[in-house]
């Protein structure tokens, strides 16, 4: 059995470990972890039976799959401490945005199996869409284990590393766009006279249902729009208003802005 260890028990590690404990493959096996923060260590030990070790080096010396669940800027200092003494043959699984396989491989030492994963905030409720990629050193067993870990918090898909950034723009940044859309819809419902809680629930359930319809029928969204806009009807009026105000253009610009900012920050900073 491969031992998984987490360096960092912050927001994302907590969501992943909670999902793992709800999944049959990880419900009672050992999960190692460490964090600078005493409160996080205690909570993860009490709630999820995480075996909390003394520090990052102790986790790196024992884990077969080492999850790097720290902010990207914390990685250089972490590597300095663990690289010379980490467990041989260990696979590193990084959650750090923008840190490439090449960067991670060089930092961790030639020949190190490296996996990058980009989960999103919905991991907290088992609804993450996670993109994964890895280098050639990753074994079948490590690949399968990483897939199982991220399937415990939602949907997981392996992509080419070149697609990681575009994929994670949609899955990482666009939840915020969707929250804005939900708030705007709910507030429009309120304006139309719906009670507040009912307006938000109606908006959320509608978005889940609409996405489910696209996924389950395989029909193109434009074909579905065609089905719900009858001649001289009400929905077509709303569609025209959205188009006139540049709804699609605004979304394209938002995605472009995220990608421009990402490239201005640069990879591997
Ligand atoms: N949160 C998300 O929705 C999300 C989504 C996709 C990807 N990610 C990625 O996931 C990673 C973790 O993000 P997060 O939001 O979970 O961060 P976080 O909440 O800040 O958690 C990171 C934790 O690791 C601790 N830490 C840092 N270096 C350590 C070390 N050497 N030894 C022990 N503990 C250490 C930090 O403590 P101190 O702060 O005290 O140093 C902090 O408690 C990041 O790379 C982020 O880009 C996050």
Residue 116: strand pairing partners: 94, 133
Indicate the pairing of strand 154-158 with strand 128-134: parallel
Q: Is the CB of 35 under 6 A from ligand 1?
A: yes
Q: Please, what is the average pLDDT of the chain?
A: 95
- Predicted pLDDT of residue 110: 84
CA angle 23, 71, 108 (to 5 degrees): 85
Question: How much distance in Å is there from the Cα of 98 to the middle of ligand 1?
Answer: 14
Rounded mean pLDDT of 161-186? Answer: 94
CA of 42 to the centre of ligand 1 (A): 16
User: What distance in angstroms lies between residue 213's CA and the mean position of ligand 1's atoms?
Assistant: 35
Residues 6+ apart with CB under 8 A from 145: 2, 4, 65
pLDDT value of position 269: 42
User: CA-to-CA distance for 184 and 264, rounded, in angstroms?
Assistant: 30
- Pocket perturbation via mutation, ligand 1, pick of 5, 11, 52 by most ligand atoms within 8 A of CB: 11
Percent of all residues in the chain with a pLDDT value above 70, rounded to a whole number:
98
Give the whole-number percent of the chain exceeding pLDDT 90.
Answer: 92
Judged against a pLDDT cut of 90, whether residue 57 lies above it is answered with yes
Ligand 1 atom nearest 11 alpha carbon: 16
Banded model confidence at residue 226, pLDDT cuts 50, 70, 90: very high
pLDDT at 266 over 70: no
Please work out whether the CB of residue 10 comes within 6 Å of at least one atom of ligand 1.
Answer: yes
For the entire predicted model, the pTM comes to: 0.92
Q: What confidence score (pLDDT) does residue 264 get? A: 77
Going along the chain from its start, the domains and CATH numbers come out as: 4-159 (3.40.50.720), 169-265 (1.10.3730.10)
Look at residue 189 in the predicted model and tell me its pLDDT.
Answer: 96
């Amino acid at each position: 059995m491969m031992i998984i260890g987490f360096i960092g028990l912050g927001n994302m590690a907590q969501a992943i470990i909670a999902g793992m404990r709800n999944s049959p493959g990880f419900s009672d096996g050992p999960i190692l972890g460490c964090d600078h923060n005493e409160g996080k260590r205690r909570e993860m030990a009490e709630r999820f039976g995480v075996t909390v070790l003394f520090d990052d080096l102790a986790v790196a010396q024992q884990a077969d799959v080492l999850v790097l669940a720290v902010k990207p800027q914390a990685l250089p200092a972490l590597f300095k401490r663990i690289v010379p003494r980490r467990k041989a043959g260990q696979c590193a699984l990084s959650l750090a945005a923008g840190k490439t396989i090449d960067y991670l491989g060089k930092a961790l030492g030639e020949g190190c199996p490296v996996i990058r994963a980009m989960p999103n905030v919905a991991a907290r409720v088992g609804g993450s869409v996670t993109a994964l990629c890895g280098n050639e050193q990753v074994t079948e067993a490590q690949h399968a284990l990483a897939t199982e870990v991220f399937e415990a918090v939602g949907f997981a898909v392996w992509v080419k590393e070149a697609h990681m950034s575009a994929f994670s723009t949609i899955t990482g940044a666009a939840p915020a766009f969707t929250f804005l859309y939900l708030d705007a819809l709910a507030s429009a419902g309120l304006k139309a006279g719906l009670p507040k809680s009912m307006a938000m629930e109606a908006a959320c359930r509608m978005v889940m249902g609409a996405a489910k319809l696209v996924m389950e029928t395989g029909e193109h969204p434009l074909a579905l729009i065609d089905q719900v806009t009858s001649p001289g009807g009400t929905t077509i009026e709303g569609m025209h208003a959205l188009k006139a105000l540049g709804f699609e253009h605004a979304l394209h610009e938002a995605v472009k802005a995220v990608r421009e900012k990402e490239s201005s920050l640069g990879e591997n900073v």
